[in-house]
Amino acid sequence: MKTTSENKKITVQNLTMGYGDFILQKNMNFSVNKGDIFIIMGGSGCGKSSLLKVLTGLVPPLKGEVFINGKKFTNSDEKNQKEVMKKVGILYQSGALFSSMTLAENIALPLTQYTSYSKNTIDEIVSLKLALVGLAGFEDFYPSQISGGMKKRAGLARALALDPEIVYFDEPSAGLDPVSSKLLDDLILNINQTLGTTMVIVTHELSSIFSIGNNSVFLDANTKQIIAHGNPKDLLKNPPNETVYNFLTRGKTEHV
């Protein structure tokens, strides 16, 4: 795997995050490379979702820096953060679709907000993104009319609307049955391989971690530090410590 500075999409340096005097994680250092499917994993309460909030600018860190595409993101002005986030998509845990809007209207929202495209062009892009996630022909459906797995895919279509270089996922398989979860994993893998989109995924699902992840960090709630970094399959074969081993061997171990 290349690790040149040009290949790094996200760089986290000496990051400490928490709320007031409460520290979640300290002295975090890692990089997400171009084209990674990067997994943020760890037990409950370790700060996985909080790290995602820092990476997307929703919460400032207590200390340290985040660079995206080589540009300083944390502790920078709002204009700079908005410019950076134009190249970023987010799939929230619930899908976060607006219930009063059709799927087409949901996906068109970032296009109408951030581009000057004509309505015809936006309609074409919306249909293309829906087709990309396997929802061709569902433009006029409302979120209440489709399944949970379809909502996640529609949310992914919206996250991809502006052709982002990076897409963040917060527990994408949450609430899905095993079949729908596998379909979503396959879709994430296909988009990554086809478009080269860098994916950063918060998840505790072992099936997803091993089937799609090629890089990762493990956040430990006890030491409040990153205690493992690398390909999840390599971490399973050569676990750096008992905590990581126990996490990666919950239930079955035939993922290797």
Instruction: Name all domains of the chain by residue range, CATH numbers in brackets.
Output: 34-48+87-248 (3.40.50.300)
Mapped onto helix, strand or coil, the DSSP state of residue 14 is strand
Looking at residue 251, what is its pLDDT? 60
The band of 1, judged by pLDDT with boundaries at 50, 70 and 90, is very low
- Residue 172 carries which DSSP code? T
pLDDT digits (tens, 9 = 90+) for 62-111: 999 999 988 899 988 888 888 888 889 999 876 678 999 999 999 999 99
> Which of 171, 198, 160, 189 is CA-nearest to residue 31?
198
State the virtual CA torsion across 247, 180, 105, 139 in degrees, nearest 10: 160
Q: Which of 28-32, 76-80, 118-122, 235-239 has the lowest mean pLDDT?
A: 76-80
Which token pair is 14?
A: 């000496």
- pTM more than 0.85: yes
**Within 10 A of 87 (CB to CB), how many other CB atoms are there?**
14
Which token pair is 189?
A: 């893998």
Looking at residue 76, what is its pLDDT? 85
Task: State the Cα–Cα distance between residues 190 and 218, nearest whole angstrom.
Answer: 25
> Which of 160, 168, 158, 153 is CA-nearest to residue 90?
168
